[in-house]
Amino acid sequence: MSSLNLDDFTDLIERPDGGTRRDAEERRARLAVPPGALGRLDELGEWLGAAQGAVPVRPIARPRVILFAGDHGVAGLGVSKRAAGTAAALVREAVEGASTGAVLARRLGVGVRIVDMSLDCDPAELPADVVSHRVRRGSGRIDTEDALTLEEAEAAFRAGMAIADEEADSGTDLAVLGDLSVGGTTAAATLVAALCGTDASVVTGRGGDPVDDLAWMRKCAAVRDALRRARPVLGDQLQLLATVGGADLAAATGFLLQSAVRRTPVILDGVVSAACALVGQRVAFRAPDWWLAAHTSGEPAQAKALDRMAMEPLLDQGVQVGGGTGGLLALPLVQAAAALAAELPEVEAPL
């Protein structure tokens, strides 16, 4: 029996300030650039103002990338081009600054925090600050067994909450949420299918490193079998994460919900973060008002999740690689919206 009451989030999470948003809209109507001329940038600027409770909006001064890492036992079925238990290589690449996300973060001057929740490697192989929150070594094979025990799911969820608090306390004013995992898209597809009531084939994609037809069929079968195990626990989101999620997904869900409590806006990177957001929406219906979808990754589960949350991605560049890449590509657009909303001059009203 978990001691974590997810229902508390419904009371703790409020929407971004509606009065401030109206003030932002009124200020926008007075700017020299005609209303509508900036397209969606106007909406972004007003959303940020409401999230900050400030008009004019403040510049985004301390964005931060948060990547939850883990290995998923279902990868052993050959559902990914990467071998099972090799997510640590993705983490090392990111730590060394050689991943796409690390390159973009360096270019943009954004800090990256990598959190090992369930990598299948010796913790001594990675920096101490990366492995300090690990819950277990690898998650279970979700088509035949639970990814986690309920106690492990709670520990991972609470770790995500703690990281959200640490980031808010340190001054992070916008987070980019991503993942570094092998098998994570299979778990994400299962969560989305379960929450949206769809079949496995509707949500199963080919992953960030696209697999061939045979591997896609294996992935569909894994999602189908995992769905049978997910449906009986749909009413308990923590148990759902334990059954067919994983420690990295549980932590990301906890991070998203606690970030909404702390009024920290979050950009969702790809299908894994979108699936966690969908779980978060089931927990607290106002929480998605604090999140933005960065881009269209091509994964059908991501499209399904975003549609269910009425989120429109900011970009569509055909980027399939994860690790925060899509979120970082969208970040300058959000920063530009903040700058324009804050710095464009107002037109003096006629006498």
CATH of domain 63-331: 3.40.50.10210
Residue 93 forms beta bridges with which residues? none
DSSP letter string, 181-196: EESHHHHHHHHHHHHH
Domain residue spans of the chain = 8-58+339-343, 63-331
What is the predicted pLDDT for the residue at 262? 98
One pLDDT digit (tens) per residue for the chain, 351 residues: 568 999 999 999 999 999 999 999 999 999 989 988 999 999 999 999 999 999 999 999 999 999 999 999 999 999 988 999 999 999 999 999 999 999 999 999 999 999 999 999 999 999 999 999 999 999 999 999 999 999 999 999 999 999 999 999 999 999 999 999 999 999 999 999 999 999 999 999 887 677 888 989 999 999 999 999 999 999 999 999 999 999 999 999 999 999 999 999 999 999 999 999 999 999 999 999 999 999 999 999 999 999 999 999 999 998 989 999 999 999 999 999 999 999 999 887 544
The helix (run of H) or strand (run of E) holding residue 87 is helix 87-95
Q: What is the dihedral of CA 201, 282, 285, 202, to 10 degrees?
A: 0
- DSSP E strand boundaries for the chain: 63-71, 111-118, 174-182, 266-268, 291-293
Whole-number Å distance between alpha carbons of 340 and 45: 8
Per-residue confidence (pLDDT) for residue 67, from 0 to 100: 98
Does this chain's domain 8-58+339-343 share its CATH topology with 63-331?
no
The correct answer on CATH 1.10.10 for the domain covering 8-58+339-343 is no
Nearest-angstrom CA–CA distance, 102 and 117: 19
Predicted local confidence at residue 351, as pLDDT: 42
Burial of 285 (C-beta count, 10 Å sphere; 0-12/13-18/19+): middle
pTM of the model: 0.96
